[in-house]
Amino acid sequence: MPSFARELEQTLHNALAEASGRRHEYATLEHLLLALIEDVHAGRVMEACGVQTGELRDAVRHYLDTELESLKVSAETEPSPTSGFQRVVQRAIEQVSSRAAELLGGMAFINSPDVSYLLAASRALAFHPPSRLSIAPAIDSYMMGNPMSVS
């Protein structure tokens, strides 16, 4: 698994643990959603958007327990993330770097070497684990409604 901010890495691990605990062969988007609901930061963002996280948690747990019987295996196994699970994580990285480019001035990077440098750095988020680690707290804070601060 690529290296992410400690909190995000723990959330992804929790999604895999949810699948493993239910003896599911695959970790699906529902496992990821449950882990995100239980993540402190993601849970706050959902609640700020009006999501009733308690009700959603119960509904997702019920779905995982009743509707995904076909994913169960008899022996204990390490669940594999589905392609949907992987695409969501990749798309999140793309969205964050696009939003960072917008916040850094969009096309202004043509005239500003500072913004150009920061844009290039934000695009590296998808490929360079230390970059993801250093920018994650600022993006997390921004997603919760605080001003974006890149220092």
Alpha-carbon span 61 to 132, nearest angstrom: 30
Single-letter amino acid, residue 20: S
Alpha-carbon span 118 to 136, nearest angstrom: 14
Q: What number is the average pLDDT over the span 56-83?
A: 89
Query: Would you say residue 52 has pLDDT above 70?
Result: yes
Asked if residues 15 and 34 have their Cβ atoms less than 8 Å apart, the reply is yes
* Domain covering 6-143 assigned CATH 1.10.1780.10 in the classification: yes
Query: Would you say residue 2 has pLDDT above 60?
Result: no
Q: Burial, 34: exposed, middle or buried (Cβ in 10 Å; 0-12, 13-18, 19+)?
A: buried
Give the lowest-confidence range in 4-8, 122-126, 145-149: 122-126
Q: Which residue has the tokens 């929790």?
A: 14
Query: Would you say residue 63 has pLDDT above 70?
Result: yes
Asked if residues 81 and 13 have their Cβ atoms less than 8 Å apart, the reply is no
Query: Would you say residue 149 has pLDDT above 70?
Result: no
3-state SS class at 47: helix
Q: Which structure tokens are listed for 144?
A: 């919760």
Query: Would you say residue 31 has pLDDT above 90?
Result: yes
- Note the helical H segments in the chain: 6-21, 29-38, 40-48, 53-66, 83-103, 113-123, 129-143
Asked if residues 3 and 9 have their Cβ atoms less than 8 Å apart, the reply is yes
Banded pLDDT at 87 (limits 50, 70, 90): confident
In Å, how far from its chain's centre is CA 130? Answer: 16
